[in-house]
Structure 1
């Protein structure tokens, strides 16, 4: 009986021991499975967190781009409005400049027309067929070149009677153009000259110019429109190597030109208007 009881107890202990180990093994297996699931979930969670962070960064970047585009669009609208305004102002300025340039060109054309009419009058009145008288235009200025033999005796600065006839015709044309002035230039050849009270060719050229100026004044030309200038021998038209060439250099030039102050005041005014338009 005792043996049977001991056997029964031993069996129970053995069975109890076996059940506990199996349960432990099952628990270990479940724990491992659970840990694996936890690790997998953790990996997925970390991946999701990383994707979320990346998506958040992309979203912020897109929002910044959208804001930049909005700002660009706003600035573009402002610039477009300013550009349209600037273009309109530029077109208006160009129209004003074109108008001012046209007015300036008209003034120059008018001057050229008056100059041409003056040349025609002088050629008709003075007598272009005389080889000792030349009427021409030089750099926009009308000039009459008269050989000294028509105006003065050799070495003299007293105007001859024939010269008064020629200068009378010049005075008639000049008096008909009140907006013009006369500059009288005396020119000599290069041969030295000294005849008291004159010292040299400078004195002779100036005295001949003043003699012509006085004659024009007596013929009715306003003295305020007259200028006397001596050029001596320093502006020759030919070499002073022959008597014929020296005769060409001995001349008096009468320059008929627009009143410089009036003409250039007009030009300066228009140029200031153009500058102000810039």
Structure 2
């Protein structure tokens, strides 16, 4: 079991919690053949593993920000306050959050359009030439073409912020049944799922790095890693497993 933990920790980037629980969730180990998450962290502190505290990217993080809702920014469309309650519960598939991840923050650098489905935590990363509203809409048009007749079932709602790059996103409502909601100004916690996933990208692309220095294949590899990472919130299944299950349901009933 310890070999299993250390292999997946270093080769696949799993957390100690995932290492401890994924193996029983999929039947690779019996519960009496493993130790719990807390014990694994104790092993790290005691120097009993080849894993050290400096290898744990989340351990020393602390959230000290106070979230305030400010009202001094223009609203681009339908407020998140009008979003159906079922979206908040995360028990219905097809509700997404989206954002942008910037690299060097210069006009000559590319950016990443990111989307996360709230129930499955499926994460999409799309490389676009710049952070203009036109580039964002072109990416969404390509995505809509990819899912074609199933778009309305897969993308029921999209929640984003009030940045000018998303000013045209509500145009999706003119060509599909998708509803677009805008978060409160300066309130990133309104779309915490995609913000959390953006943090995962920073493990591979540090702030300040040029996005254009990363190939399309490297971006795909980051996306694949995120969607192959077992999650505690998903009973230690992966986003891909949940997402594919929901797609199968949609395609079978079409």
- Return the structure number with greater helix share: 1
Fold match by TM threshold 0.5: no
TM (norm. structure 1) is 0.18
